[in-house]
Every structure is written in structure tokens, then in C-alpha cells.
Structure 1
């Protein structure tokens, strides 16, 4: 059996980078060292719940880019909410309304 591969997992535990041992990899999957009767288990390299990277620096860059995207989306959402609030604040009742 060849030496285990080391990959760096993000997404599993918040903004942490976890070192994991793999038995092999393909273009889209990694095979993690299994427990019990299973010798290995397959996971996608890029999934919603976890991502596997070749280096710690790649994993950090992935987390940084993800945080920047979240910040940018939050800034846009804040602008939309402020515009909505301004429109609501500027509302005046129609004539004859109580």
C-alpha cells in the first residue's frame, strides 16, 4: 500500500482547516481512511458540506474568498434594506386616510 495522502478539509467545522489522511484520490473524489470494517470511504472533493485542498495555503485562500463573498453579499443586502427603509419612512398617508 502506498503512503497516505494528506489533504486539508474546510467546511466541516466552521472556519477551521483540518488535516485529513486519504488513501487515494481521483479528479473529483478523495478516499478517506475508514474505520471498523471499511478500509476507506469516498467523499467528493468539492461538496456543500466539505471541501478538500492540496495545501494548507489553498484551504486558507478558499476560506478567505468565501468570507469576502459573504461580506460583499451582506453589504448589498444592507444597501437594499436601507433603501427599503427610506421608502417606507418617506410614505405619507393618502388623502382621507385616518
Structure 2
């Protein structure tokens, strides 16, 4: 399912190697601004900024990271408002638990 991020917040991720290219895809990609930032102690990092919008349901997006070495990462996330019910995402798998 991925890691949840609240709208109006940012989430920082360390990159495994320098000189990475990053791309966001998925239904929630339009809500996300990606910023690659150098850090002094560990190398580069990616900051995901999620737009400050009220969401009626969870919206998924994927971060694809490609490194020069050929290594790739595919990380899953979702944006969710504090008032969003946890079972409103159509592909959440919650239907299995509903009566």
C-alpha cells in the first residue's frame, strides 16, 4: 500500500547514491512536487512536497528512482487528509474485510 503523507506536508528520503533521476507517477502525481537536494553529511536526498488539498479519499503515487550504476528503486506512497475515512480508497483491499 505504501507510506502515507498528509497534504500540506513534506517527506524527506535519503538516496542510496548520488546523481539519481527521480520521477513520480500514479493518480496522485499531480499533487506532488519533487525536489532533489544535496545534503552535507550523507549525500543527496529527495523531498516530496504534497499539495495542501482536502482529499475525499486516499490518492496513491509512486516514486521511481534510477541511479547511474543501474540500481533502481520503486517506492509507493499515498496522500490522505486527517478527515479521510481509511476505507475510501477503491483499491485498498478493505472490501475483503467488509460484511
Q: Shared fold by TM > 0.5?
A: no
- TM-score band by shorter chain is under 0.3
Structure whose residues are more often strand by fraction: 2
TM-score by length of 1: 0.27
TM-score (ref. length: structure 2) = 0.27
Greater relative contact order: 1 or 2 (C-alpha under 8 angstroms, separation 6 or more)? Answer: 2
Q: Which has the larger radius of gyration?
A: 1
Higher helix share goes to which structure?
A: 1
